[in-house]
Amino acid sequence: MANTTPQTSSTTGTGPGEQFDAIIIGAGLTGLYQLYKLRQLGLSVRVYEAGSGVGGTWYWNRYPGARFDSESYSYGYSFSEELLQEWDWKEHFSGQPENERYLNYVADKFDLRRDIQFNARVASALYDERANRWQLQTEDGHRAQAQFLITAVGVLSAPQMPNVAGLDTYTGEWCHTGLWPKTPLNLAGKRVGVIGTGASGVQLITEIAKEVGHLTVFQRTPNYCAPLHNKPIDEETQKKIKASYPEIFKKCRETFAGMIHHFDPRSVFEVSAEEREAFYEQIWSEPGFRKWLGNFRDVMSSKEANDTFAEFVRNKIRARVKDPAVANKLVPTNHPFGSKRVPLESGYYEVYNQDNVVLVDLKETPITRITPKGLKTSTTEYEFDVLIFATGFDAVTGAFNRINIRGVGGQGLKDKWADGPRTYLGIQSVGFPNLFTLVGPHNGATFCNIPRCSEQNVEWVTDCIRYMREHNHGRIEAKLDAEGAWTAHVADTIADSLLLQADSWFMGANTPGKKRTFLMYAGGTPAYRAKCDEVAAKGYEGFALQ
Ligand code: NAP
């Protein structure tokens, strides 16, 4: 087994720095579990984490209203029965403070912190071909080396600001939902502007509308938001959940997106109009993503089928917003239902019935600049005490692009992926040996209830490293033909899907200048898992091992 004690030389300046078997970037849900597993394997491991605490998404996105859209009990780690039994989720869809507490609890329980360096944002990762080692440097100049580099940088972790002039002139408070300050902003009674109405904006707006003095929401594209139906978990239900974790996780392994929801095997058109309406009412009244991932099987593949549910949702929106002109602005028409991530809400549409809330349609009146006191649209000037950007993320590849990652021959990963990612299993890319991209582009874990699929990723990588050690292999790199075939297969998984029809972050279309291409994997969780298992069973077919 490996020496688990890191060898230290100079950690700053020009020396190679501390030596590890593996370096993990990110101490979110995925990075924490990878650390736990590699430690079990006897590797020396260091995690570099940009934040001052663990949690990743649940560390950074501490905006008011942030909470799971997955059932809490389907979201926690499944690897420790003891952890499952001792942790009580308080709500069916748990809020950010509890989620962050949970991940801290896990870090403490498994004594993970001693191998995590916090406040350490990785600036570069360079592959040294001769030594077959990755050389890392953090933004503050700390250096370290490892044989394996494992990224756990998250899917939505590179916050994105709109490209509008004048932010540097703005004198009020402002922040992005994905970089929410630890000391909460005081919004009570204030004039607040929010730009963006995706899943983050919808949660935030609903929550802060309860306390702000005046709220102006700037919406570019309306979404199909659906009721979350959250509630506390009572004692009886808690017991039932704890007794049924094996079935819950089994179900998650069998569903398309690693959730507890299965698509209905029927077509929209196999049932009568009355039955369809009754089914829609039924799924609408149920919690979570049932309306999306438990809908008729063809809702996500046939526009005609999709239209029936899209119209159902539009009518639900119209019924909740008193002013028909405002309702009209909130009704989505330019993309199919579910072709963008469906925001789940708890009273969102009713916010627009409040006297102190104004909705501005940016398609009618675009923002022209940020001003010292607020912002200007093509027709109006607005003044705010606080301006909030709920404008999303440079998704999936954004966090990779913000690190200077260079592989064989000094090739940049950002350059290689400029026309869209090229990967094998979403876990490796040719020219970047010993680099594993957990929950990376083209990976089955991206289009999934992430913890369920990131556990699979982590376990697969751990098994792969174990295999390499047992067979005396020091280097693993995807083969070109395997990468080409996987990249083509990823495109095939979306060929018949309505996902192609929206300008979403799934397609990279929310980031100006980014190549429009599908960044995830839409073949479903079971198919992805089966392929990864098959590759491993065949001695890591498609990878060159040396
Ligand atoms: P998002 O879905 O990308 O939404 C960003 C919003 O900002 C959109 O309304 C977008 O309008 C708008 N926007 C972006 N740039 C703009 C500009 N220059 N001018 C005006 N408006 C602009 O981002 P998000 O809401 O942060 O959500 C991202 C993802 O995070 C979600 O899809 C979800 O997967 C995840 N999330 C999960 C949870 C949860 O599980 N509970 C909660 C929040 C977020 P357009 O639509 O026109 O581009």
| Longest pairwise C-alpha distance within the chain | 73
Q: For residues 349 and 205, what is the distance between their CA atoms, to the nearest angstrom? A: 10
Nearest CA to ligand 1 atom 2: 198
Mean pLDDT of 461-490: 98
Position 14 scores a pLDDT of 65
What pLDDT digit, counting tens, does each position of 396-439 carry? Answer: 999 999 999 999 999 999 999 999 999 999 999 999 999 999 99
With a 6 Å cutoff on the Cβ, whether 320 touches ligand 1 is: no
Give the Å distance between the CA of 340 and the centre of ligand 1. Answer: 10
Position 5 scores a pLDDT of 46
Report which ligand 1 atom has the smallest distance to the Cα of 505.
3
Q: What is residue 19's three-state secondary structure? A: strand
Provide the residue range defining the domain that includes 470: 7-54+112-158+395-545
Position 184 scores a pLDDT of 86
Nearest CA to ligand 1 atom 38: 199
With a 6 Å cutoff on the Cβ, whether 162 touches ligand 1 is: yes
With a 6 Å cutoff on the Cβ, whether 335 touches ligand 1 is: no
On whether residue 168 sits in a domain, the answer given is: no
- Domain count along the chain: 1
Q: What are phi and psi of 374, to 5 degrees?
A: 175, -120
On whether residue 123 sits in a domain, the answer given is: yes
- For residue 426, is it left (φ>0), alpha (ψ between -120 and 50) or beta? left
On whether residue 431 sits in a domain, the answer given is: yes
Give the Å distance between the CA of 195 and the centre of ligand 1. Answer: 10
CATH number, residue 450: 3.50.50.60
Q: For residues 141 and 331, what is the distance between their CA atoms, to the nearest angstrom? A: 50
Position 2 scores a pLDDT of 40
On whether residue 469 sits in a domain, the answer given is: yes
Report residue 9's pLDDT band, with 50, 70 and 90 as the boundaries: very low
On whether residue 76 sits in a domain, the answer given is: no
pTM score, whole prediction: 0.96
> In this structure, which amino acid lies at residue 350?
E
With a 6 Å cutoff on the Cβ, whether 502 touches ligand 1 is: no
What pLDDT digit, counting tens, does each position of 251-263 carry? Answer: 999 999 999 999 9
Nearest CA to ligand 1 atom 28: 392
Q: How many CA atoms lie within 13 A of 222 on its CB side?
A: 22
With a 6 Å cutoff on the Cβ, whether 68 touches ligand 1 is: yes
On whether residue 197 sits in a domain, the answer given is: no
- pLDDT averaged over every residue in the chain: 96
On whether residue 540 sits in a domain, the answer given is: yes
Report which ligand 1 atom has the smallest distance to the Cα of 201.
25
With a 6 Å cutoff on the Cβ, whether 327 touches ligand 1 is: no
Q: For residues 433 and 72, what is the distance between their CA atoms, to the nearest angstrom? A: 36
**% of residues, the chain, pLDDT over 70:** 97
With a 6 Å cutoff on the Cβ, whether 536 touches ligand 1 is: no
Position 13 scores a pLDDT of 55
Position 16 scores a pLDDT of 81
Only one residue has tokens 């498994």, namely 110
